[in-house]
């Protein structure tokens, strides 16, 4: 099963996307629908709302008068918090029931308007954000009968486009023709969601293909931040911080389009304890990788655990190492040294290009690592010397 978080600002067309995904076979869990369900007449949720806010929030039939309720909470954060404390736990519980009832191979789309505002993005293996320009959203809301001032106020009360962009693994632009949106949704379903679900269910890592260098992508840092948050949420209290490491963490350095992350743990027993949670979050375990390169000549292997990505749209290497271990330290040291030393960066890029020229068509990444290993061995003392003279200390950032 794959759980997808779907969100977007009011008037963006999120419901249109949800309907299209359902037509393709997704199971929809709509938070807005559930929010109405849990305060329907006769529910304990409505009874609690009346107990807190009074019978003035009921209409003549005894149902919740939603405009009256909105008038009470819209400009009063404390009142809104009281209402959320009644509604949100019930919506969460009902969502869990619906997800548990879905087929094992389902793509479950959870339509959550305030997914970003409530900090829920890291809880999903994939987040889809539907975007439309603010003025277009205002026009749509006015066509629905909302006064323009109210439309603008509601848009302003939600997260910014920048915040939603930062949370998005996939961003669907719905500023134009609805037919174009349908084509984009269909492509997302066929090329990513269906394959992601199968990989997740079968604990299968997506192959990155033959390692090839690409020019630096300005989206790498933001992508890494999303993935860091997802890994941290899955690891929970057993995690000791997640760092973006490897070549994509070094500004301006050409690299393979693979995000390397390092999860710190107190012991590898903790890594084993969070294995299933990481796999459910989209990072299957690779049982045959358990030592590190580079390593000093003659040193013992540096044990770790390794997870990859089930998402066909994003290659990830997740290295799990004990905090303070040689492997954990050197991953951070090499990153920071290369960030600081232009000469070292140039040398490393030359080594990477030589490896690509020699093994560029070979999908076996181990050959590329082996080709670079002598350089790593030769420069470890230089990196250590830099650490000593710069008063370097390990940092996740």
d(CA 367, CA 93): 49
Which residues make Cβ contacts (< 8 Å) with residue 160, sequence separation at least 6?
none
d(CA 339, CA 215): 16
Does the annotation place 11 within a ligand binding site?
yes
CB-CB neighbours of 107 under 10 Å: 24
Which residues make Cβ contacts (< 8 Å) with residue 240, sequence separation at least 6?
263, 264, 265, 266, 323
Does the annotation place 389 within a ligand binding site?
no
Compute the CA torsion angle 92, 166, 192, 114 (nearest 10 deg).
Answer: 20
Contact predicate 169/128, CB 8 Å: yes
- Report the side by side order of strands in the sheet with 315-322: 239-245, 258-265, 315-322, 305-307
Locus of tokens 């690299």: 255
DSSP string over 176-245 = S-HHHHHHHHHHHIIIIIHHHHHHHHTT-PPP--S---BPPPTTHHHHHHHHHHHHHHHHGGGEEEEEEE
Does the annotation place 176 within a ligand binding site?
no
d(CA 153, CA 157): 6
Integer CA distances (angstroms), 45 to 39, 41, 52, 64, 112, in order:
5, 9, 11, 11, 19
Q: Which parts of 298-338 are beta strand (E)?
A: 305-307, 315-322
> 66-73 vs 44-53: helix axis angle to the nearest 10?
50
Does the annotation place 13 within a ligand binding site?
yes
Locus of tokens 């090839």: 212
Which of these, 319, 376, 367, 344, lies nearest to 211 by C-alpha position? 367
CB-CB neighbours of 137 under 10 Å: 23
Question: Which parts are annotated binding residues?
Answer: 11-16
Q: Which residue ranges are tagged as binding site for ATP? A: 11-16
């Amino acid at each position: 099963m794959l759980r997808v978080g779907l969100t977007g600002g009011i008037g963006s067309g999120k419901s249109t996307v949800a309907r299209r995904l359902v037509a393709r076979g997704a199971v929809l869990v709509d938070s807005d629908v559930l929010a109405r369900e849990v305060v329907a007449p006769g529910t304990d949720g409505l009874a609690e709302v009346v107990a807190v806010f009074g019978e003035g929030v009921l209409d003549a039939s005894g149902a919740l008068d939603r405009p009256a309720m909105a008038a009470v909470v819209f400009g009063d954060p404390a009142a809104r918090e009281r209402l959320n404390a009644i509604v949100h736990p019930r919506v969460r519980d009902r969502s869990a029931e619906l997800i548990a009832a879905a087929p094992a191979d389902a793509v479950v789309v959870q339509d959550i308007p305030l997914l970003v505002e409530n900090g829920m993005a890291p809880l999903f293996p994939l987040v889809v954000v539907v975007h439309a320009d603010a003025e277009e959203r205002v026009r749509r809301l006015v066509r629905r009968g909302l006064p323009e001032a109210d439309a603008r106020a509601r848009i302003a009360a939600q997260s910014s486009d920048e915040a939603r962009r930062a949370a998005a693994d996939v961003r669907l632009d719905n500023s134009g023709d609805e037919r174009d949106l349908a084509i984009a949704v269909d492509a997302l379903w066929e090329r990513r969601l269906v394959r992601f679900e199968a990989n997740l269910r079968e604990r299968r890592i997506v192959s990155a293909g033959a390692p090839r260098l690409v020019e630096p992508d300005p989206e790498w840092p933001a992508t890494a931040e999303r993935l860091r948050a997802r890994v941290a949420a899955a690891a929970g209290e057993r995690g000791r911080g997640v760092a973006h490491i490897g070549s994509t963490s070094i500004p301006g350095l050409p690299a393979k389009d693979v995000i390397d992350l390092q999860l710190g743990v107190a012991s590898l027993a903790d890594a084993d304890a969070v294995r299933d949670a990481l796999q459910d979050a989209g990072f299957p375990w690779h049982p045959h990788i358990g030592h590190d390169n580079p390593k000093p000549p003659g040193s013992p292997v540096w044990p770790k655990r390794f997870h990859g990505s089930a998402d066909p749209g994003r290659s990830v290497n997740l290295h799990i190492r004990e905090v303070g271990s040689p492997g954990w330290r050197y991953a951070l040291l090499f990153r920071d040294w290369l960030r600081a030393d232009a000469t070292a960066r140039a040398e490393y890029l030359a080594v990477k290009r030589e490896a690509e020229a020699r093994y560029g068509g070979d999908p076996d990444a181990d050959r590329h690592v082996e080709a670079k290993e002598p350089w790593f061995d030769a420069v470890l003392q230089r990196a250590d010397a830099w650490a000593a003279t710069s008063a370097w200390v390990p940092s996740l950032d």
